[in-house]
Amino acid sequence: MSMTFQKATKKSARLRMALIGVAGAGKTYTALSIASHLGDKIAVLDTERGSASKYSDLFEFDVMEPETFSPKTYIDAIEAAESAGYDVIILDSLSHAWAGKDGALELVDRASRRAQSGNNFGAWRDVTPLHNAMVDTIIGAKIHIIATMRAKTEYVQEKDPKTGKTSVRKVGMAPVQRDGLEYEFDVVADIDSENNLVVGKTRCPAIAGAVFNKAGKDIALRLKNWLTDGGVAREAASKVVPKFEKKPAPVAVPVEEFEDDAIHCDCGVVAKYVRGKSGAGWICGHSGTGEAMCAFRMKEEVVEVGDDPFDDTPVGLGDNKVLLNGAHG
């Protein structure tokens, strides 16, 4: 089988974001605020008993409130949102797919009871593939996905090497979901009780280690720029058709009409009449215009003065100098 590599780009990249927080931290509001700046059409899978709809006066979105929280429900909702042309789907919350009604843990318990063995390992053989299918759907969907997850306090047991005593230490917050699921997302952030979004794990350098209070447009625009800074941007630029401004037609300069006996210089334009101390006459009509002048000169009358301007000295082209002892063209 032939295997080839191609240049890596973020063409058609879609966001995978996980927001983790305790009750009241503002996960739903934050998800809606970020989503509203990622796309126009937003879908919400609400497993929190209508909590998302309480923000319907602030954000425009469509909602689905399922009665069962099986991983299959999440798969169907994501596929339905993708087919309907939504830009973003919010899974609020993804924790119910693990610990809610018909969630993974409940499915394992049912399978164990049916087997009457009391052994959960056999039950996980049936539930794990379903949960994996949900994760694959999240990763492969062609729309942005923001998943909220409830947080639980995580502890570890540590044994003191000197005393041999075991102690319990709090190590932070962990999402109510399968261990390691957060690593499937592009961005994982914790939201504290003061509505501070603290970015933990991220593939977006622009927000690494950042803290956003009441996050919304600020982080969304950084993420959107990151997602489109690649093949999509270059492809869009290549499709832009240059626009040429239509210049107005040159305004016709009115031509001054002269009598049939008007005097014309060698350029074919009407000669310019000038008068000076040495006399009067006609010279090239381009005098004083900045255009190249011809050598045309016609004296009107002979005046006996020195330095007669109508001598045979040729006039240089473009030489718009003072004529006839001070008369200007």
Q: What is the mean pLDDT of each run of 10 residues along the chain (329 residues)?
A: 78 90 91 96 95 95 96 97 97 95 93 76 88 96 96 81 82 82 94 92 94 95 86 44 51 47 76 77 81 80 52 48 42
pLDDT of res. 251:
55
Residue 263 near residue 270 (C-beta atoms within 8 A): yes
| CATH number for the domain running over 16-231 | 3.40.50
3-class SS string, the chain: CCCCCCCCCCCCCCCEEEEEECCCCCHHHHHHHHHCCCCCCEEEEECCCCCHHHHCCCCCCEEECCCCCCHHHHHHHHHHHHHCCCCEEEEECCCHHHHCCCCHHHHHHHHHHHHCCCCHHHHHHHHHHHHHHHHHHHHHCCCEEEEEEEEEEEEEEEECCCCCCEEEEEEEEEECCCCCHHHHCCEEEEECCCCEEEEEEECCHHHCCCEEECCCHHHHHHHHHHHHCCHHHHHHHHCCCCCCCCCCCCCCCCCCCCCCCCCECCCCCECEEEEECCEEEEECCCCCCCCCCCCCEEECCCCCCCCCCCCCCCCCCCCCCCECCCECC
pLDDT of res. 275:
78
Determine phi and psi for 176, rounding to 5 degrees. Answer: -80, 90
pLDDT of res. 171:
59
Q: How many other C-beta atoms are found inside a 10 Å radius of the C-beta of residue 327?
A: 18
Domain with CATH 3.40.50 in the chain: 16-231
pLDDT of res. 288:
80
**Rounded Cα gap, residues 59 and 92, in angstroms:** 15
The sign one gets for the Cα dihedral 50, 51, 52, 56 is positive
Residue 88 near residue 145 (C-beta atoms within 8 A): yes
**Rounded Cα gap, residues 10 and 14, in angstroms:** 9
pLDDT of res. 293:
81
pLDDT of res. 308:
52
pTM of the model: 0.65
Among 286, 273, 148, residue whose Cα is nearest residue 215:
148
Determine phi and psi for 267, rounding to 5 degrees. Answer: -80, -10
